[in-house]
Amino acid sequence: MNLPQLRQARPPQGWRVNYWALFAWAIAALVLVPVLVSFSSFATAQGDILGHLAEFVLPELLVNTFWLMGGVAIGVTLLGVSLAALVSLCEFPGRRVFDWALMLPLALPAYVTAFVAIDLLDYSGPLQSWLRDGWGVTGLPEIRSRAGVIAVMSLALYPYVYLIAKNAFATQGAVALEAAQSLGLSRLQGFFKVALPMARPWIAAGLLLALMETLADFGTMAIFNYDTFTTAIYKAWYSLFSLPAAAQLASVLIVFVLVMVVLEQRSRAQMRFNAVGRSVVSRRAQLSPGRAWAAFAFAGSVLLVAFVVPFVQLALWTREVMAQDLDARYWAFAWHSVLLAGLGALMVVVVALLLAYAGRRRPGRVMTWTQRVATLGYAFPGAVLAVGLFIPVALLDNGLIALGRAWFGFDGTQVLKGTLLVMLLAYLVRFLAVGFGPIDSGLQRISRHVDEAARTLGMGTRAMLARVHLPMLRASLQTAAALTFVDIMKEMPITLMTRPFGWDTLAVRVFEMTSEGEWERAALPSLAIVLVGLAPIIFLTRRTGAAHG
């Protein structure tokens, strides 16, 4: 058969099945399932439960959420921006250490910081007892309050703003300050009138990430008994035994999340990069001795309160309870955590790789938007995903049971609900963006000429992916796997609400012990989670530190 005949024998291009696009659309559809399920719950709403929620629950949740979001926004912005400006634009003792050390609070889950803060700062805690007995100081602010929740969340989440703002100041801040000074402004005036406004899109992006994490938080709110949508969803499911009520609350929370996503996308659209390389190092302001040590004291105080004190307290408690708690049951918790995190990370990396590769094989606006939808799950709280995925799986399970009884005499009560399926699917939807980011960035750095060269050697798509792209993506795959592994280890609401019977993890153990007020016994699993989380944080800080000097 000659070449013209071969071309005629091939099916028309329009009739070929685009498997890459179908895969991407399937993942995007999976992400949209919790959204559709949550909003569809209003179609079968029970009037008495819906009326109870509207009259007694929603007003309190809205007020609590409003104050929480506003307080955390102020806290993380003040801490993150001020620390980023000091580290990037000023020279003071310990600056190189603070540059990476101020990121360490990310390794501490907010719920761990919460129960350590309550133990140390409560009325019967060591600090207030010492001040009251030794110095006669009374009437200190109550840690179990709205202000306490805001303070803990701000200390736990300021690194989101700090990291992004630090990159903005390092790439543009010094140049902007020099330009402002050449126009007759002082360095302080130049910062507030030029450098800070230029960094506003970056700061807004970091702030919105922190706010989305605040909306998604469950453990901290449960420890403080501060009712938000995530705790209300859990109570509706396990106290009212009403999945529709939980879904309706989830739909309201989704509205908040989607507003955050739109704002975050708009802030990213305004970003413009103008890197200046390592020349920034020589342009840092030399502070006077008094101001330099004041900067050291400020950065050191934040690091001390946000990471060092909680970490040391966890270590001290762990030493006290290790002999009692480090038994076979604890090793089962650790094994479940590692196994689930490993399986979840493997699923996320494989799906993220295929999704990113689909964009490379079939580029275009439709694929770009499909990838955005597919990675939108990171913005959804774990409680929303748990409810939104459990309901359709339960319906499917009931259908399979009915078919099994009719055709095969099946007498069981569950097929899918008692397995790890719901939990792993929720992990996949929640953390796909975490794995997709490094892998997609790695693919973008591989030139298209590499693909063309591989094709000239007769390689198909599978061979090219396995023999060319995968070796070049090794570092990106490792980064994606490590970050996803740590996030799943720390994740609480998905695991708590969807785990099969007997599948308790370290995070579940922390929740159970803190619910009973046994802070010391919560220290051992908490410290294990923190130690696992330190590895990718140190890797990230070393990489960004090498980039900016």
DSSP state, residue 446: S
Half-sphere exposure of 393 (CA within 13 A, CB side): 22
Give the number of other Cβ atoms within 10 Å of residue 270's Cβ: 11
- How far is 485 from 172, CA to CA, in rounded Å? 34
Identity of the residue numbered 174: A
Report the pLDDT value the prediction gives residue 237, as an integer from 0 to 100.
Answer: 81
Report the pLDDT value the prediction gives residue 408, as an integer from 0 to 100.
Answer: 73
Considering only CA atoms, give the Rg of the chain.
26
Share of the chain above pLDDT 70, in %: 84
pLDDT band at 52 (very low <50, low <70, confident <90, very high): low
| CB contact set of 249 (below 8 Å; sequence gap of 6+) | 53, 57, 61, 229, 232, 233, 236
Report the pLDDT value the prediction gives residue 270, as an integer from 0 to 100.
Answer: 53
Determine which of 3-7, 257-261, 296-300, 318-322 has the lowest per-residue pLDDT on average. 3-7
| CB contact set of 476 (below 8 Å; sequence gap of 6+) | 438, 439, 441, 442, 443
The string of pLDDT tens digits covering residues 275-298 is 444 444 446 778 888 889 999 999
Of the two residues 266 and 108, the one the predictor is more confident about is: 108
pLDDT of 491 above 70: yes
The string of pLDDT tens digits covering residues 162-216 is 988 887 787 665 666 666 666 666 666 767 777 778 778 778 878 887 888 898 8
Nearest-5° angle of CA 63, CA 225, CA 434? 80
pTM of the model: 0.80
The string of pLDDT tens digits covering residues 362-417 is 888 888 889 888 888 887 888 888 888 888 888 888 888 888 777 876 666 677 77
The secondary structure element, H or E, covering residue 312 is: helix 309-325
Closest CA to 423 of 349, 340, 479, 359: 340
Report the pLDDT value the prediction gives residue 282, as an integer from 0 to 100.
Answer: 45
pLDDT of 332 above 60: yes
Helix orientation angle between 174-182 and 58-89, rounded to the nearest 10 degrees: 70
Determine which of 77-81, 232-236, 238-242, 493-497 has the lowest per-residue pLDDT on average. 238-242
Q: Which segments within 184-339 are labelled E, that is strand?
A: 285-286
| CB contact set of 507 (below 8 Å; sequence gap of 6+) | 109, 219, 337, 489, 490, 491, 492, 495, 496, 525, 529
The string of pLDDT tens digits covering residues 297-327 is 999 999 999 999 999 999 999 998 888 878 7
Report the pLDDT value the prediction gives residue 48, as an integer from 0 to 100.
Answer: 65
Determine which of 151-155, 255-259, 395-399, 408-412 has the lowest per-residue pLDDT on average. 408-412
pLDDT band at 88 (very low <50, low <70, confident <90, very high): confident
The two structure tokens encoding residue 364: 């275009």
Q: Which domains are assigned to the chain?
A: 18-36+44-548 (1.10.3720.10)
| CB contact set of 20 (below 8 Å; sequence gap of 6+) | 357, 358, 361, 362
Averaged pLDDT for residues 122-143? 79
DSSP codes of every residue in 76-91? HHHHHHHHHHHHHHEE
